[in-house]
Structure 1
Amino acid sequence: MPVNSSFKILRDVVGKRFPMSKAVLIKYKDSDGDLVTITCSAELRLAESSVDKSNNRLHIVEVNPEQEPPILEEEEIEEVKPIEIEKEKMEASEDEPECKEVEMDDWLFEFAQLFRNHVGIDPDSHIDLHEIGMELCSEALEETVTSEEAQTLFDKASSKFQEVAALAFFNWGNVHMCAARKRMPIDESGPKETMDAQLKNAYDWVREKYTLAKEKYEEALSIKPDFYEGLLALGQQQFEMAKLHWSFVLAKKSDLSKWDPAETIGLFDSAEKKMKAATEMWEKMEEQRVKESKEGKKDEVSKRKKKQQGEVGQVEVTPEEAAEQAAVMRSQIHLFWGNMLFERSQIECKLGLSGWDKNLDDAVDRFKLAGASEVDISTVLKNHCSNNNEEKAEVVMLSADVVEKGDD
């Protein structure tokens, strides 16, 4: 901090350095080794003159707000004077002297709700990870900064910040995926050339959004290679891209016998490959969690989360609740995988490609593993194009909703 600073400036510096602390006491060690609280600028000058220059460390103690010493009135006046002078200069040169308030836009809150309701993520979760990372980092920056224990804390803090960065790109990718759902009306009453142009523009726009989402998901994985959520999202992106290709071909009423499906089938292959890798990654993490739960182990982050949750009246997730959450996650993976195989089977059947029946059987197996009832699965199968019902084949997009109802 600057030399000969006032107590108010010192308080401001401490507040910026430790933003999570609502109220603190600032202390120094006197020549007798006792901790003395600083309450004003005069005492700060005394502290500067009495302590050893080689050991002029201040000690910060978090306290209740009522225990924090107030800023004396004369120090308030002293600090405000230069600000008032600058303000007068500004008022003399500006037409609008009033300060403008900065308010949070409503869209920030509404966008957070959109994520929770439609994307299935919590935009505030990265804040908790950031706080945990800061706490771990601050704990290491004490007397034992060079110890082996401190390095372990640094490693854990680094891991949390790595996850924060990966989540940022993951959420960024989800924004593009949400934007791609925008409905773009096509005027079917106009000339064919006009309608074809509108279709192409809509296709290019959605494709661009999917491509941007893919870039963000890949960036998240480059930061955190074991980020299974990023792999799942990439699989979803490839799946949606394959459906986009197929929808575009159907909308143009192209001759399917002359259409090359190689790129679309390749997207399905890529989606399934990423789905498999993400599932294996998640299963390993889940096995490790179960193992640690049985052995009664709790890592440092879990302890801090429990402490933070206890302070706000929340309850730590029990092993039973964790197992239930894992079951839900496993069901969602099987459901997504089943939908992907079902859609692929539809396209392959429509094109007369071999292997569509096996993909359909595999999709049914996934639906069963997801917990869908026999009645719901039967309803979904009736919509398959192999039943030679063109109208029902168009309703394939409803299959995900039907299967999800079987899970309720």
Structure 2
Amino acid sequence: MALVGPLSRALSERLSRCRLLVVGAGGIGCELLKNLVLAGFRDIEVMDLDTIDVSNLNRQFLFQKKHVGKSKAQVAKESALKFCPEARIAAHHDSIMNPGYNVEFFRQFTLVMNALDNRAARNHVNRMCLAADIPLIESGTAGYLGQVTVIKKGVTECYECQPKPSQKTFPGCTIRNTPSEPIHCIVWAKYLFNQLFGEEDADQEVSPDTADPEAAWELSDAAARAGASNEDGGIKRISTKDWARSTGYDPVKIFNKLFRDDIKYLLTMDQLWRKRKAPVPLDWVDVEKFASNLRMHIFSMNMKSKFDVKSMAGNIIPAIATTNAVIAGLIVLEGLKILSGNLEQCRTIFLNKQPNPRKKLLVPCTLDPPNPSCYVCSIKPEVTVKLNTQKVSIQVLQDRVKQCVL
């Protein structure tokens, strides 16, 4: 099986000699690693921080059910070696952002290929490759869409030359008290997951927000409010994590708190529902009717499919096996151009969801030159910060600068 036609002897020798770093062994990474050993690459290091989950198995074909819980990088290495036992593959179950993977580490490699799914790691690899003056092939997929581009210091745009859209945020009172769009319910669910299973963040509480400026109490009977919040389980206005822990993470109690008792508590905030449709509490016996979309149902919204929910969740992008396969193949083709000394032939390639007017799914575009205003790759990088010294605190300044840099 070959990805392209026969390679010249000189190029084949370059492939076998070059040292390659693959960052990420997930959807794109699995396809990429398999393609690389089949194409003739023989000296590869692969890095991934994650372990294998059951949900990975429908598209990350180097993994099997027996591998669940194991290191993605290590299992990907073992599986790829079955295609080419003579290849030399080193696996790192680690984060590429750890201090040990510095500029000197990157200088070991002839070429770096990204198969990442988060911006912070992409930014880091971009900067390390620029500092080490090593070509980087950047890639990404989102559902049926995909993109591959080549980054070379002083020749092309870097990953950070153009601003990326920032993730939209929503007021906490909207998330906790008055969701009006499906995305509000999806963000609430992400917060809930962190409260129950992840690192607790006080800004991500999911219980009703009593400090909501709209929620001026009209009930004069404080006991009635207390009853609404405490019936059937003695629920108090404490953090969700503390409360769930106190119940031993009892699923029925947690369900009743989140989807019945908290909703009843919200209903006592009379002012919130004067111009809105009031939410409808759910009981545990009703859960089989929805299996998902519970909060959307409570607040009378059109419910979404699992695919749509993943698309809207921001950090959870629906992955399509065929998209990953196409993008991984394109990464290898761009790598062959670089190793052939034909950097000028490299392209940014977009994979469309459906053919464009010219009946093409793949759209190649000439690589853009560096942005002279880029604070990462320009010759004299600088950032101008304007602020009112009478009003801005040091903490705010620090946070704003950090936000710009990251």
**Does TM-score exceed 0.5, indicating one fold?**
no
Report the TM-score, using the length of structure 1 for normalisation. 0.21
Q: Which has the larger radius of gyration?
A: 1
Report the TM-score, using the length of structure 2 for normalisation. 0.21
| Structure with higher strand content | 2
